[in-house]
């Protein structure tokens, strides 16, 4: 795997919008996030098409891909931070210069729809990418948890996943090691097959979902599609994150309904990633170990920044 360099004070962080457009209140939120980051001693560079809404629902796929490619090309930019999530970061896939990215490894981070982009970059280039808070979100969160997790991972190089006191539940006991892969359930489902798919073999899969948009039956649909396409025959372990639906039905219940005791891999649950205030930074492509006998049931076992 290609491991990006750590951040240090004075470095330039590039901000891109590969998913939904930055419009209306998002513009002010982005400026507040910029102030937070600059007050911490970093510099912020906005991409050329950051505020584009050419299509009326987002920038064009080529505009978004141009920004991604340019941020990787720019030697002065040390981290690429995705501004917000949305629905169509996959529109960039065919226009990305994967050889350019491979030749200029650097941190790229975001969550929700952004995990579609980061998983494909890892799959196509071998670069370790990151599921973590979006740039805008550090200005809209009620706490600084997710921002602190970014600084802990990228500046300090910490291997700690979340905070020590956080609760982990065991849904199925066991021990497993493998590279981390995954993120948002609906987006991961979209990467199961086709030209832009990812390899689930011997991986530890982490999944979360936005309950506001995805009812339990739709989550079941996504999971059955993954099951029917052999995903759960390939993985070594499963880590479930945040999901809140008005029915009170949990994502872990839906997953266990789908898996029906057919698989032997360990399954754990925590609330420290996903569409929640507590978003730890999870490296995609870095090896982790699940051991359900431990209080903290998952740990990183190799570094994800140099």
Q: How far apart are CA 248 and CA 246, in angstroms?
A: 5
Tokens 């998952």 appear where?
A: 298
Topology (CATH) of 12-154 = Rossmann fold (3.40.50)
For position 164, what pLDDT does the model report? Answer: 83
* Per-residue pLDDT, 165: 84
Q: What are the residue ranges of CATH 3.50.30.60 in the chain?
A: 169-300
Task: Report pTM.
Answer: 0.97
The alpha carbon of 267 is separated from its chain's Cα centroid by a whole number of angstroms, namely: 19
Give residue 280's pLDDT: 96
Helix (H) or strand (E) holding 108: strand 107-110
Q: Are 31 and 64 in contact (CB under 8 A)?
A: no
Q: What is the full per-residue pLDDT of the chain (306 aa) written as tens digits?
A: 999 999 999 999 999 999 999 999 999 999 999 999 999 999 999 999 999 999 999 999 999 999 999 999 999 999 999 999 999 999 999 999 999 999 999 999 999 999 999 999 999 999 999 999 999 999 999 999 999 999 999 999 999 998 888 899 999 999 999 999 999 999 999 999 999 999 999 999 999 999 989 999 999 999 999 999 999 999 999 999 999 999 999 999 999 999 998 999 999 999 999 999 999 999 999 999 999 999 889 999 999 999
Residues of the chain with CATH 3.40.50.10740: 12-154
Closest CA to 51 of 73, 36, 29: 29
> Rounded to a whole number, what is the largest CA-CA distance in the chain?
52
Residue 171 main-chain phi, psi, to 5 deg: -100, -30
Under CATH, domain 169-300 is a member of which superfamily? LD-carboxypeptidase A C-terminal domain-like (3.50.30.60)
């Amino acid at each position: 795997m290609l491991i990006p360099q750590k951040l240090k004070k004075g470095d330039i962080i590039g901000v891109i919008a590969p998913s939904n457009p930055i419009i209306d209140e998002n513009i002010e939120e982005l400026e507040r996030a910029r102030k937070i980051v600059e007050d911490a001693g970093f510099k912020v560079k906005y991409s050329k098409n950051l505020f584009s809404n050419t299509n009326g629902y987002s920038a064009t796929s080529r505009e978004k891909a141009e920004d991604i490619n340019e941020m990787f090309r720019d030697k002065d930019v040390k981290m690429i931070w995705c501004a917000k999530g949305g629905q169509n970061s996959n529109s960039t896939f065919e226009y990305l210069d994967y050889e350019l990215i491979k030749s200029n490894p650097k941190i790229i981070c975001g969550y929700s729809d952004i995990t579609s982009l980061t998983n494909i970059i890892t799959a196509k280039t071998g670069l370790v990418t990151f599921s973590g808070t979006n740039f805008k979100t550090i200005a809209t969160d009620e706490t600084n948890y997710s921002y602190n997790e970014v600084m802990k991972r990228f500046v300090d190089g910490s291997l700690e996943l979340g905070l020590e006191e956080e609760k982990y539940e065991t849904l199925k006991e066991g021990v497993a090691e493998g590279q981390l892969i995954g993120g948002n359930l609906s987006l991961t489902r979209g990467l199961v097959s086709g030209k832009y798919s990812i390899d689930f073999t011997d991986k530890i899969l982490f999944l979360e979902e936005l309950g506001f948009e995805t009812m339990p039956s739709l989550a079941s649909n996504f999971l059955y599609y993954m099951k029917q396409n052999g995903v759960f025959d390939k993985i070594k372990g499963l880590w479930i994150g945040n999901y809140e639906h008005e029915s009170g039905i949990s994502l872990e219940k839906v997953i266990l309904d789908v898996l029906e005791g057919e698989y032997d891999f360990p399954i754990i649950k925590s609330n420290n990633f996903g569409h929640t205030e507590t978003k730890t930074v999870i490296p995609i492509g870095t090896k982790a170990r699940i051991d359900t006998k431990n209080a903290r049931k998952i740990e990183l076992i190799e570094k994800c920044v140099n």
